[in-house]
């Protein structure tokens, strides 16, 4: 037989041992890995978004190859014209460069003869690439050049799209930086102790659900803005390329999208999408687990109530049975007493 005092001492000793353990001893390793996963995820997204922001800003080894669109004017006069090489050299003397490439903040121009980029415009917020204005402003007096008419029609739409693209990329970069520090908070530092009471477990579960929802909303907004900016950039500069390619036979103007810039954009979209999916899955699991626990608790409470009612019935029936037995004993005692008195009177 175990004495209550010694049982209390054993429970106290176990609690002290549990509280003296370091947080890492309570199965913290998998949670630390998940936190590190979130941090690396958003660091990768931030790095690629920064590369998108600083692409084409200057003549640097990586930046010079990171652009949205590159227009090649080195063969603007068709090759079918006699003395095409001489004409192309004359085209360069009237102020045109061999290529023009555009980034988020500015454009750069240069030559294909090995000199590369010779000039980059000053970075400007809400930058809008207007190829017609740039080319016409560089032509010398008296020189003219035929540009596709579709370019002029698309400029009004491109102006609005460029402003939206700029704002979305800047906002997405800021939110991605914030997610590096806030997203890992959705992971608990240590799992709940199995010895906790159901009330304490329910409180911890409710607290986790309260801050998991805003974090999931933050990751969703980050993914949405990054994806929207990438879609706008891809669609807008693809339209520019199609316009120039349609008139390539007449003008010999070549256009190509910046593959590196597109890869950087969509890698950032993929990283933010993975972060949002994991947070959304955690939120759904948290809500479903809470609903299951609530239903299980209600079912257990109902069973306990039924057991209590059944126990009360048994107690009442047993108490009735005991009362009947006591009445019978008292009746027997009275009968024996009366019979004993009669015997004495008769005697």
Place of tokens 């929207």: 228
Q: What angle in degrees, to the nearest 10, is found between the helix axes of 149-182 and 131-138? A: 120
Quote the pLDDT of residue 97: 85
Query: Could you tell me where the DSSP H helices lie in 148-258?
Result: 149-182, 198-246, 248-251
The pLDDT, as a whole number, for residue 29 is 47
Separation in Å, CA 107 to CA 54, 58, 155, 244: 12, 9, 16, 18
Sequence-ordered alpha helix ranges (H) in the chain = 4-20, 29-54, 84-93, 131-138, 149-182, 198-246, 248-251, 259-346
Can you give the pLDDT at residue 265? 96
**Cα 248 to Cα 42, 251, 253, distances in angstroms:** 41, 5, 5
What does the alpha-carbon distance between residue 121 and residue 109 come to, in Å, rounded to a whole number? 9
Report the sign of the C-alpha dihedral through residues 209, 215, 217, 223, in that order: negative
Q: Looking at residue 26, what is its pLDDT?
A: 42
**What pLDDT sits at residue 242?**
87
Give the per-residue pLDDT at 23. Answer: 45
| Residue from 147, 107, 140, 143 nearest 123 by CA | 107
R_g (Cα) of the chain, nearest Å:
41
Dist. CA 78–CA 80, nearest whole Å: 5
Interhelix angle 149-182/198-246, nearest 10 degrees: 160
Query: Measured between alpha carbons, how far apart are the two ends of the chain, in Å?
Result: 59
Q: Which of 185, 175, 181 is nearest to 218 (CA)?
A: 175
pLDDT score, position 78 = 47
Residue partners of 279: CB distance under 8 A and separation at least 6: 183, 186, 212, 215, 216, 219, 220
Instruction: Give the pLDDT of residue 28.
Output: 44
Ranges of residues in the chain whose predicted pLDDT is under 70? 1-31, 77-94, 140-150, 188-209, 247-251, 286-331, 334-347
């Amino acid at each position: 037989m175990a004495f209550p005092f010694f049982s209390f001492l054993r429970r106290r000793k176990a609690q002290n041992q549990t509280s003296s353990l370091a947080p890492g001893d309570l199965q913290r390793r998998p949670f630390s890995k998940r936190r590190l996963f979130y941090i690396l995820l958003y660091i990768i997204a931030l790095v690629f978004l920064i590369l998108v922001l600083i692409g084409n800003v200057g003549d640097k080894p990586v930046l010079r190859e990171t652009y949205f669109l590159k227009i090649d004017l080195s063969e603007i006069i068709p090759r079918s014209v006699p003395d095409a090489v001489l004409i192309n050299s004359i085209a360069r003397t009237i102020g045109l460069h061999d290529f023009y490439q555009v980034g988020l903040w500015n454009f750069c121009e240069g030559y294909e003869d090995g000199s590369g980029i010779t000039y980059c415009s000053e970075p400007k917020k809400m930058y809008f690439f207007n190829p017609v204005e740039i080319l016409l402003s560089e032509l010398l007096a008296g020189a003219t050049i035929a540009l596709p008419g579709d370019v002029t029609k698309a400029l009004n739409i491109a102006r609005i799209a460029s402003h939206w693209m700029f704002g979305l990329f800047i906002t997405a970069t800021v939110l991605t930086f914030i997610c590096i520090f806030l997203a890992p908070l959705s992971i608990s530092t240590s799992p709940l102790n199995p010895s906790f009471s159901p009330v304490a477990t329910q409180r911890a579960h409710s607290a986790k659900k309260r801050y998991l929802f805003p974090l999931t909303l933050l990751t969703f907004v980050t993914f949405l803005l990054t994806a929207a900016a990438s879609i706008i950039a891809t669609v807008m500069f693809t339209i520019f390329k199609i316009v120039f390619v349609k008139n390539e036979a007449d003008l010999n103007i070549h256009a190509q999208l910046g593959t590196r810039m597109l890869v950087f954009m969509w890698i950032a979209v993929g990283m933010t999408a993975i972060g949002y999916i994991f947070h959304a899955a955690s939120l759904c699991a948290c809500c479903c687990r809470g609903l299951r626990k609530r239903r299980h608790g209600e079912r257990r409470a109902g069973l306990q109530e039924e057991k209590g009612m059944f126990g009360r019935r048994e107690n009442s029936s047993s108490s009735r049975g005991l009362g009947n037995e006591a009445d019978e004993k008292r009746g027997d005692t009275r009968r024996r007493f009366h019979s004993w008195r009669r015997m004495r009177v008769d005697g």
